[in-house]
């Protein structure tokens, strides 16, 4: 078995790749074929898609069951900028709420945060699906 998606909570799905020699060789082939760049270690792998623009990475961390748990993350400049923007937005919203302006936090903080979160979840689904499709294609060729 190559891949399994497990629902732990209603809002989070854990994507698992079993650690086996075939799966590790498929990960190496993804890097060798130029589809991804990154590294594969004994307990963790990090892969970044070789495409432009590339602002995300896939991280696989070995869990107690002997399978890699896939996680999606943005690269450092974008994740740092997003955290700074969230902090600034919250501080400005608090000051606007103190002054009695209720519409500013809704239009300029809440709605943009919802849109960013929606875009993040959409990109996460797309990248994990693309990754697993490529893994399955390489495994079928073997």
What is the predicted pLDDT for the residue at 28? 92
Q: Which of 36, 39, 51, 45 is nearest to 17 (CA)?
A: 45
Q: Would you say the pTM of this structure is higher than 0.95?
A: no
**Residues near 85 by beta carbon (within 8 Å), at least 6 away in sequence:** none
Tokens for 104, please give them: 């500013």
Residue located via tokens 């390489």 = 138
User: For residue 40, what pLDDT is reported?
Assistant: 92
Q: If you count them, how many residues does the chain have?
A: 142
Mean pLDDT of the chain: 85
The tokens for 107 are 């239009």
Ranges assigned E (strand) in the chain: 3-7, 13-18, 36-40, 44-49, 56-62, 67-74
pLDDT band for position 12 (50/70/90)? low
């Amino acid at each position: 078995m190559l891949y399994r998606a497990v629902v732990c909570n209603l809002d989070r799905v854990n994507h698992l790749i079993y650690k086996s020699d075939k799966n590790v060789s498929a990960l190496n082939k993804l890097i060798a074929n130029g589809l991804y760049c990154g590294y594969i270690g004994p307990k963790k792998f990090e892969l970044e898609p070789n495409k432009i623009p590339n602002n995300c990475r896939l991280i696989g961390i070995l869990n107690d069951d002997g399978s890699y748990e896939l996680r999606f993350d943005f690269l450092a400049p974008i994740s740092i900028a997003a955290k700074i923007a969230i902090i600034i937005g919250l501080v400005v919203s608090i000051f606007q709420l103190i002054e009695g302006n209720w519409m500013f936090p809704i239009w300029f903080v809440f709605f943009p945060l919802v849109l960013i979160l929606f875009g993040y979840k959409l990109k996460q689904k797309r990248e994990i699906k693309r990754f697993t499709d490529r893994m399955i294609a390489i495994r079928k060729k073997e």
